[in-house]
Structure 1
Amino acid sequence: MIIEKNIKTARFIRRPNRFQAYVELEGEELMVHVPNTGRCKEILTPGTEVILREELNPSRKTLYDLIAAYKGDKLINIDSQIPNKVVEEALKNGRVKDLSNYTGIKREKTFGNSRFDFKLMDEVSHAEYFLEVKGVTLEEFGITKFPDAPTERGTKHLLELIEVKKTGKGAGVLFLIQMENVKVFKPNDKMDKLFADSLILAKSKGVDIMAYDCLLGENFITLNNKIEILL
């Protein structure tokens, strides 16, 4: 997908809370919005080159969203709204090979007590499939992990996907790694052991576990290759 809005580069200064950061843009310090509640401490370090997306909304307190940053020479998208958009585009284009037979695509559908990112339909067999998407920004030496902060909600989704499978419907979780050139994906058991254990349990119960990296630049991002998963 192409980011149609105006893009600028800046230097990261500090992040006083989850939603705000200060950057230096064209010699001026200004506050920007951070569309990611994760910690991103290994990415957002003082002096890091960051990517801003202009948001021309007069009701906003900030003119820009901080959507990506360079970690060394690796560009990492941190916009938490991006993964669902990228995956939806990939589903429509048949890029998620394991799910290419599901041509009916609906966003934000509920099952039980959870709202999942996608409900898919095989329009020939009428089989249904519930898909949850998780964005991944944590990387070290080519190893990517999720989550970067404890996630009760993420664990709840995994347990609900198991319940989906019990009804005979398809169920899966897709980890979208918001960067290029990575080696493997694994759950971050040191950060959230309950989530990691729930992911292993979900796989044992037939829930599909998928991971894909992305091709990206400062003004585009798209689903790329399937990545090996270590559980």
Structure 2
Amino acid sequence: MLIHEFGEGLVRAAFLRRINRFLVEADVEGSPALCHLHDPGRLSTLLVEGRPLLLIPRKGKRKTRYDVVGVHDVEWVFVHSGYHSSFAETLFGRRVLKELRGYSVEKKEVIFGDSRLDF
């Protein structure tokens, strides 16, 4: 099932190293490239040298030419937190998850006490 189409086209690469919370180095067609990682979590079990990555090419005035969207372990793991909310909304709307059928998104970004809930 197609949840989202990346119009830019995805690029395959291999993880080399994590430079800081948001910056990784990847091997893209034999050359090292800096890539933005939109997930500041530890991800130490995923980000292992040589592991396959999926990247989105980015243009414009940036420090990096790519955003990391996926890391392959046993299966592809989506690691770009900027898309999580829209993917979840699509899954709700298409009634894909049987456990959540019968529920709908009434409002996004709801304030609850000192917290903010996605839905």
Q: Which protein has greater RCO, CA pairs closer than 8 Å, 6+ apart?
A: 2
Q: CA–CA distance in 2 between the matches of 1:33 and 1:111?
A: 31
| Matched letter for residue 88 of structure 1 | E
**CA–CA distance in 2 between the matches of 1:62 and 1:105?**
37
Tell me, which stretches of 5 or more residues in structure 1 are unaligned? Answer: 119-231
Partner of 2:89: 88
Q: Does 1:43 align with 2:34?
A: no
1:128-179 CA-to-partner distances (Å, cap 9, x unmatched) read xxxxxxxxxxxxxxxxxxxxxxxxxxxxxxxxxxxxxxxxxxxxxxxxxxxx
Structure 2: gaps (5+ residues): none
- Aligned match of 1:113: 114
- Rg bigger for which structure? 1
| Deviations 1:162-200 (CA, angstroms, capped at 9, x unpaired) | xxxxxxxxxxxxxxxxxxxxxxxxxxxxxxxxxxxxxxx
Q: Indicate yes or no: 2:73 matched with 1:78.
A: no
Correspondent of 1:64 among 63, 66, 74: 66
More strand by share: 1
The amino acid of 1:50's aligned partner reads L
Cα distance in 1 for partners of 2:87, 2:109 equals 15
Match in the other structure for 2:19:
16
CA contact 2:15–2:47 (8 Å) conserved in 1: yes
* Higher percent of residues as helix: 1
TM-score by length of structure 2 reads 0.84
Partners of 2:42 and 2:81 lie apart in 1 by: 12
Q: Is the CA contact (8 Å cut-off) linking 2:9 and 2:57 kept in structure 1?
A: yes
Write out the 4+ residue segments of structure 1 that deviate beyond 6 Å after TM superposition.
none
State the alpha-carbon separation in 2 of the partners of residues 81 and 99 from structure 1: 22
What's the CA shift for 1:6?
1.7
The number of aligned residues is 116
Name the % identity. 28
In structure 2, do the counterparts of structure 1 residues 47 and 96 end up closer, same or farther at CA, with 3 Å as the change threshold?
closer
Structure 1 residues 98 and 50, CA gap change in structure 2 (3 angstroms) = closer
Would the alpha carbon gap of residues 12 and 103 (structure 1) be closer, same or farther in structure 2, given more than 3 Å must change?
closer
Q: 1:103 to 1:45 in 2, by over 3 A?
A: closer
Shift in Å at residue 99 of structure 1? 4.0
Inter-CA distance 104–33: structure 2 relative to 1 (3 Å threshold): closer
> How many angstroms apart in 1 are the aligned matches of 2:88 and 2:30?
37
Tell me by how many angstroms 1:81 deviates: 2.4
